[in-house]
A and B are shown apart, each in its own frame.
Chain A
Amino acid sequence: MIKKISILLIIFICCIIPHAIFAENANDVHINASLFSGTSFLHIEGKSFDTKMVPVAGISLSSYFFPRNIFFYGVELAYMYSFKSNYNNYYYYDSYSSLSLLPHLGIHFQTPSLTYFFLLGGGGSISFSRYLSKNYFIASAGAGIYFKKFFIDGLLLSYNHSFFKNFTVFETLKVHAIIHLWRKNQSSSK
């Protein structure tokens, strides 16, 4: 597990370096942290198992590079804990931890009151269920909207669809409270 975490950290750092290289041509470079919580909907393939809702929570580290247009891109490294489901009908989906690396592509534009960011991303996570003592790889893709003027440094609402063998439904809705750790704003320095 530690080896896999190290690999993901190395990949994340490798993704930040291009930001630093290309930052001179950018309006902004952001490195953010976030706390998030939300809900996952799980439904395994099979006639005996229904959709169950489980709470999720976690932290993430993300970096975004904003070229001088409405597009931007970045990458998010996130740790998420998914809680155990209820026991209705005498089965449950177990809790698990996951470490995800999700490249993002987005657009941003400003209205008189809010700055909107629409994100699209895809990637994978390594998930570990301690009780089941198993590692899983879960691929996922999602989208999000970022409201800049809320909370500390903005709120991000995100939706992820995950792809996992056996699962017909694996959807996650999350609310992220964003904190800017570091920002390089070239336009403001001129």
Chain B
Amino acid sequence: MLASCSFLPIQSDTDFYGLIIGINDYTYLPPPPKGDLLYCEDDASSIHSSLIENGWKTEELTLLLGSNATKTNINNILIDRINQANENDFIFVFFSGHGCRISDADGDEPDGLDEALVPVDYQPANSSPLITDDELSFIFSACGTEKGIFIIDACHSGGVINKSLAGTNIRVKSIDSITPKGSGGSGDLTITNFPVMTACSQNEYSYETGAFGHGVFSYFLLEGFQNLKADRNKDNYITIRELFNYAENHTETYTSMHAFPTIQHPAMRFPMDLLDILITR
């Protein structure tokens, strides 16, 4: 019976690696609402603080904000973390910023488009500084662990795990004070054995709002961490599924009740049945 006691000390040889990215001020994009974003760096900083408050150590986390979040930096640090992690280790990756889509260069996407994260040095006339889902898939293909989470808070981010809600009842209204992130599209991030969580579905925007000073989805992730609010089974740990359930429910409710142009439906691909992974320690 002791095997089920969650209050027993955790025996572990797990090392933790985290990369947290937030970009407001894009070098080559116009100011908000047409280009730059307002609260992504706050999303990233607050996620960083929440993890520290919940047992992570500062040296386990790398925070890349604004001008430091270039494609080179993001890729180098991500590759470094992935190369360091062995099968028992935990990798946490968080991105808050623009997402976009470009024509598929290698013909592997059914919709003819590659999805991409937009680093700070992106130039509208030059797609090379983008980090495409093909590149992310290649980087994660070397990943030694299946334990961790890749969280993407960007418009149309659900497209990277191919969870479309096309045809559902999505209302479109216009509110000037809300800044949609990116222009997105559909596609696949072919990381099949690693959990991926996205702020919205393929055909939706991911919003940030001055009411929270955060992206809506990121805000509810943060609220889930706060005082273990997302701890659904009251075991004093927050797991990937618990955090997603909390943020998903609140994001959908909030965006449906506050006249956002579209409802935001977060999505998650979690390949393992009957299993959950702890984020807090």
User: Which residues does A use to contact B, with CB under 8 Å?
Assistant: 42, 44, 46-49, 52-55, 83-96, 129, 131-132, 134, 136, 164-167
CB pair A89 B275 closer than 8 Å: no
**CB-defined contacts of B11 to chain A, threshold 8 Å:** 88-89
Q: Which of B6, B241, B273 contacts A87 (CB 8 A)?
A: B6
**CB-defined contacts of B273 to chain A, threshold 8 Å:** 44, 134, 136, 164-167
B170 at the binding interface (Cβ < 8 Å): no
B53 at the binding interface (Cβ < 8 Å): no
Among the interface residues B6, B90, B273, B274, which one has the most CB atoms of the partner chain A within 10 A? Answer: B274
**CB-defined contacts of A89 to chain B, threshold 8 Å:** 10-14, 88, 147
CB pair A54 B4 closer than 8 Å: yes
**CB-defined contacts of A132 to chain B, threshold 8 Å:** 241, 274, 276
A129→B232 CA distance, assembly (Å):
14
**CB-defined contacts of A92 to chain B, threshold 8 Å:** 6, 275-276, 278
CB pair A83 B12 closer than 8 Å: no
B166 at the binding interface (Cβ < 8 Å): no
A79→B271 CA distance, assembly (Å):
27
- Residues B213-232 near A (CB distance < 8 A): 232
A136→B241 CA distance, assembly (Å):
17
Size of the B side of the interface (Cβ < 8 Å), in residues, is 32
A75→B187 CA distance, assembly (Å):
49
CB pair A85 B12 closer than 8 Å: no
B57 at the binding interface (Cβ < 8 Å): no
B144 at the binding interface (Cβ < 8 Å): yes
CB pair A47 B146 closer than 8 Å: yes
B272 at the binding interface (Cβ < 8 Å): yes
* CB pairs A–B below 8 angstroms (19 shown): A47-B144, A47-B145, A47-B146, A48-B147, A54-B3, A85-B4, A86-B4, A86-B5, A87-B278, A89-B11, A89-B12, A90-B147, A91-B275, A91-B277, A92-B6, A92-B276, A94-B275, A96-B274, A166-B271
B60 at the binding interface (Cβ < 8 Å): no
B8 at the binding interface (Cβ < 8 Å): yes
CB pair B276 A94 closer than 8 Å: yes
A187→B271 CA distance, assembly (Å):
56
**CB-defined contacts of B275 to chain A, threshold 8 Å:** 44, 49, 91-94
A86→B278 CA distance, assembly (Å):
12
Q: Which of A47, A55, A164 contacts B1 (CB 8 A)?
A: A55
Cβ-closest chain A residue relative to B241: A132
CB pair A49 B3 closer than 8 Å: no
A129→B12 CA distance, assembly (Å):
26
CB pair B278 A91 closer than 8 Å: yes
CB pair B4 A48 closer than 8 Å: no
CB pair A48 B1 closer than 8 Å: no
A180→B147 CA distance, assembly (Å):
48
CB pair B145 A55 closer than 8 Å: no
Known: A89-B13, A89-B88, A131-B241. 12 other contacts (CB 8 A): A47-B145, A47-B146, A49-B146, A84-B6, A86-B10, A89-B11, A90-B90, A96-B274, A129-B274, A131-B232, A132-B274, A164-B273
A48-B88, A89-B13, A91-B147 known; A166-B272 Cβ under 8 A? yes
A90→B17 CA distance, assembly (Å):
14
CB pair B193 A46 closer than 8 Å: yes
**CB-defined contacts of B147 to chain A, threshold 8 Å:** 48-49, 89-91
A164→B274 CA distance, assembly (Å):
10
Nearest CB on B from A47, distance (A): 4
Q: Which of A44, A86, A87, A93 contacts B237 (CB 8 A)?
A: A87
Cβ-closest chain B residue relative to A52: B3
